[in-house]
Amino acid sequence: MQVPDVTGSPSSPAASRHRWILHVDLDQFQVSVERIRDPELVGVAVIVGGSGDPEQPRTVVTCASYEAREQGVRAGMPMRAALKRSPDAVFLPTDHATYDAASARVMEAIASLGHPVEVWGWDEAYVGVDADDPVPVAAAIRETVAAVTGLRSAVGISDNKQRAKMATNIAKKRPVDGDPAARVFVLTGENWRAEMGERPTRDLHSVGPKTAAKLAAAGVDTVDDLAATPRQTLIDMFGPHQGTWLHVLARGGGDATITTEPEPARSHSKVQTFPTDLTDVAQMHDRLAELTESLLAEIVGEGRVVFRVAVTVRTTTFFTRTKSRKLPAPTTSLADISPAVHVLLDKFDLDRPVRLLGVRLELTDPDT
């Protein structure tokens, strides 16, 4: 279990404290992005993961629609197991370039409202708010994200990140229509025990199955049970760091800071959807060369170095595949990167019209 710093880092110029922390979580993000570009997927079981081939070994589900979840499919499940549980589902590959682009639009939409934003991956972010009433801000975030991207979201509100994230899980179960505060929930010290006390410890953010099982073996089943367990008992069971964190977490405590300085990007990507499908392979190579050169210029401008390349192709039938390869050595040379990109494109069967091309360049750690 990863244990965050419960005190935050107020001395850091990038970290700040706010009256409220809002956790924004996008609804079945990858599936929702796929449904926007192919509305025929709405209402059917959709499973995203790997190359999209459920028979391929060692691949797992990264996102499942609610229809698939009702059949027992969960993120992290092997794709083969998902196929057994939902044999009629539509299986799609993980399209990093498209999800990167969609996520960037979401985060820009949230930031446009003028509050500090801490981005956590593709589909979630924390927002610092100092208004007396945070609910209208949460509603405005949901409305803005939907208007700009077409994606739905839920917002949890509290005074720290962990409790805000738990509030989001409650908000996801609220009605969508007819309520300006739909899919928004406020969880504070006042309603903490009423909402969370009788829930299993597994419902606490960052408590994994192994930790919950160890607690249950000691007779600690609910959040109230955990809150009543002496701190020293938890330290004896889990060690000083994790034991103290569980003691804090059971009482609704957590990290109360927003850090707006993002972690260094692991990759950059560019995609282009063509107004007219491409059928000429030479044109495909030309467009991909343009994307690669433009993307590399941005990366060089940031002082980053490329170690892996990936190419995404989507045909007019929305069949999407991504192929990648590691470069012989990290580089910023177009002469080294471009040939690898074109070799990847040639590995695709380009016998169908191409609707979209994308290139992703994965980057070394800037501190190495």
Residue 10 confidence (pLDDT): 36
Residue 367 confidence (pLDDT): 65
Is 124 in a helix, a strand, or coil?
A: strand
Residue 16 confidence (pLDDT): 85
**Catalytic residue from among 124, 143, 190, 198:** 124
Question: Could you give the maximum distance between any two Cα atoms of the chain, in Å?
Answer: 70
Tell me the angle at which helices 96-111 and 135-149 cross, rounded to the nearest 10 degrees.
140
End-to-end CA distance of the chain: 26
Q: How many other C-beta atoms are found inside a 10 Å radius of the C-beta of residue 254?
A: 24
CA distance 68 to 54: 14
Identity of the residue numbered 259: T
Q: Which two tokens stand for residue 92?
A: 């799609």
Distance of CA 24 to the CA centre of its chain: 11
Q: What is the mean pLDDT of each run of 10 residues along the chain (368 residues)?
A: 39 71 96 94 94 87 95 93 96 90 91 92 94 94 92 95 96 68 89 96 93 96 97 96 95 91 75 88 96 93 93 85 92 96 94 91 81
Does residue 34 carry a catalytic annotation? no
